[in-house]
Amino acid sequence: MASQDWFDKDFYKTLGVSKDVSDADLKKTYRKLARKYHPDSNQGDASAEAKFKEISEAYAVLSDRDQREEYDQIRAMGSGARFTAGGRGAGGFEDVFSQFGQSRGGGRYTSAEDFEDIFSMFGQQGGGFGSGRFGQSTGGFRGFGGPTRGADVTARTTIDFTTAAKGETITLQGEDGRPFKVKIPAGVVDGQKIRLRGRGRPSPDGGETGDIIVQVSVRAHPVFERDGLNLRVKVPVTFTEATLGATIEVPTLGGDPVKLRVAPGTPSGRVLRVKGRGVETQKGTGDLLAEVQVAVPAHLDDAAREALERFQSLEPKENPRADLMAKARG
């Protein structure tokens, strides 16, 4: 939310950047200044601490697209406009109302509609200082809505498939170069965000500290795929194993293989389920889903070819595509 002293504070000058500075250059400049004036690096230096608060406040506003636009609009109004307790005379609310070409006279302004007209220029709806109703304290203008909340910080990390499935505590590097720990819960999925409350940027005026939001990317696994809490794996079997039946071994994620029984006549694509060998979380445990794929031999010696030809002459004379063709014809 805007603050009255935005009229007096030149945040661009505080950070030493131009008004058309890009987001990337703004962040680079802030990080450099934050390292220089951080209280931990200047213990007992009150001036450094004050400077750190100034640049933090400036960056918190300019790094937020909406706040930056609002700040630029307020600054463009000039130093003559002020939000004062009274409504009379120059330098009071009349300076603001003049932006809309409205004449309010010299009286006191007390209606909610008046306040709504003022704050609509800052993108607020429903009136009031940062709230749905006038008079509620929700973190708006200083003296009326309380202190400003610190900005959130976004961090990104890429983890392997097993870490995502089983969970782990990892270490990342913060904006100030300091390491911080993040607990990755078991079962986290690609693109999921983890919020670390109170670990973001400090408030410029003593308010609540922002959060760190960690966006997680998960590397693909060469064998397994996620299906909710279930794990899927494609298992090749030979033609004779699928036809005559067999007991085969199937891998598990980070554990010993399990044995599965392939029934005689199992078709390619059939899914065999192993209970409880999926992703284990506080919300439940998934299963391992093994999809059978019949492997066709690429090379046959003469004896194998002759045996298959004999089998071909003996196999039932059924067309496996007959039902498919009938359905296609409608």
Positions of the chain with pLDDT lower than 50, given as ranges: 1-2, 79-144
DSSP 8-state secondary structure symbol assigned to residue 148: P
Q: Which residue has the tokens 């703004």?
A: 26
Note the pLDDT of residue 3: 53
- Cα separation, 27 vs 327, whole angstroms: 62
Q: Determine the topology of domain 4-122 in CATH.
A: Helix Hairpins (1.10.287)
281 CB burial (10 A radius; 0-12, 13-18, 19+):
middle
How far apart are the C-alpha atoms of 286 and 277, rounded to whole Å?
Answer: 7
Which residues, 6 or more positions from 279, have their beta carbon under 8 angstroms from its beta carbon?
Answer: 165, 166, 186, 187, 226, 229, 230, 231, 285, 286
The CA distances from residue 245 to 90, 251, 305, in Å, are 94, 19, 21
Residue 217 is predicted with a pLDDT of: 95
> Residue 262 to residues 106, 113, 250: CA-CA distances in angstroms?
91, 75, 11
Closest CA to 248 of 294, 204, 280, 299: 294
pLDDT at 46: 85
Contact 262, 245 (CB under 8 A): yes
Secondary structure E strands in 145-229: 153-159, 168-173, 179-184, 193-196, 212-218, 225-227
Helix (H, G, I), strand (E, B) or coil at 217: strand
**pLDDT the model gives residue 316:** 83
pLDDT of residue 35: 85
Domain 225-328 maps to which CATH number in 2.60.260.20, 3.20.20.140, 3.40.350.10, 2.30.110.10?
2.60.260.20
Could you give the residue range(s) of every CATH 1.10.287.110 domain in the chain?
A: 4-122
pLDDT given at position 80: 41
Q: What is residue 140's predicted lDDT score, i.e. its pLDDT?
A: 42
pLDDT at site 220? 95
Residues 6+ apart with CB under 8 A from 315: none
What pLDDT does 41 receive?
77
CATH code, 153-218: 2.60.260.20
User: Which residues have a Cβ under 8 Å from the Cβ of 319 and sit 6 or more positions away?
Assistant: none
Q: Name beta bridge partners: 181.
A: 171
Which residues make up the CATH 2.60.260.20 domain(s) of the chain? 153-218, 225-328
Give CA–CA dist 1/61, Å, rounded: 9
